Amino acid sequence: MSVGRRRGMSLETKYVELCKGINGLDKIVLREVRGCSAEVYLYGGHVTSWKNEHGEELLFVSSKAIFNPPKTIRGGIPICFPQFSNLGSLEPHGFARARFWTIDNDPPPFPINSSNKAFIDLILKHSEEDVKIWPHRYEFRLRITLGPGGDLMLTSRIRNTNTDGKSFTFTFAYHTYFHVTDISEVRVEGLETLDYLDNLKNRERFTEQGDAIVFESEVDKVYLSTPTKIAILDHERKRTFELRKDGLPDAVVWNPWDKKAKTIPDLGDDEYKHMLCVEAACVENPITLKPGEEWRGRQELSAVPSSYCSGQLDPQRAFLSDKFGLA
């Protein structure tokens, strides 16, 4: 079934389609004219696929991923809310990624490029079950947009709808799993000289020393006060992922490497070689909202030939980011 073919569309591209995914779970497929696509499961509000115009998958999803609620899906872009990792009393990474979201047919207006046609608005609200473990009322609106050039944009808006006058506090992350050819041939630029918390050393604080981050063992770090742009260079594929973010000051970098991978039941023993998590996040300083207040956090992902990177960003893409206020 098509969800609202956008008005005035002369081409036969079905920009937004609701269909059944693995195990009969509802999913939305976003498509653009050039052939790029994205898939979003209503379970978890979870992006599980992002492909370029050549049909190449840009996100990693484990071959052992379990699409069977209440299990969470290993890979893609899990939404971590209202708790990142184990930094609180809730289940690790919170409950939003293990809830069924609904399509929001009447979202508030977004101050964003209205020429995008491939997008979906989802909403998650508190349930009586959730209130027992996290005693707050909220509305979480998520817009997922596939741009004409294949960029993938996620915008989260979280509002405190408590009626008892109470504020609430949360941490957040887009737990993005990038698909890489060989983790030992990948480097991350944009986090040099920054402070980070090392989760492998009891969250002790260190300062990054290298020119760029490379991978030769397990990594689990929260970089602090990070720039709005981070680049992930896949040398084997000659591809660079660009991550742009707004409202998310931290960046988590994670790869389990071989020993940890063997302990993760829904991850293949050797799959760590083909994944890297770089996560736009708000971890060090949690967000507090009073009743009626709203927080917004946004990330934009693009994949370009590596020649564009190391300061040589595509000027048109830079212009679009200026337009969105992310440059």
**Which active-site residues does the annotation give?**
175, 279
User: In this structure, what are the phi and psi dihedrals at residue 27, rounded to the nearest 5 degrees?
Assistant: -140, 160
Nearest to 156 by CA among 135, 177, 170: 170
Reduced to 3 states (helix: H, G, I; strand: E, B; else coil), residue 203 is coil
DSSP string, 39-91: EEETBTTEEEEEE-TT--B-B-B-TT---STTSPPSBSB-EE-S--TTSSSSS
Task: List beta partners, residue 28.
Answer: 18, 40
For tokens 């981070």, the residue is 230
Q: What residues contact residue 285 under an 8 Å CB cut-off, 6+ apart?
A: 249
26 vs 23: CA distance, rounded Å = 9
- C-beta of residue 178 within 8 angstroms of C-beta of residue 275: yes
37 vs 56: CA distance, rounded Å = 10
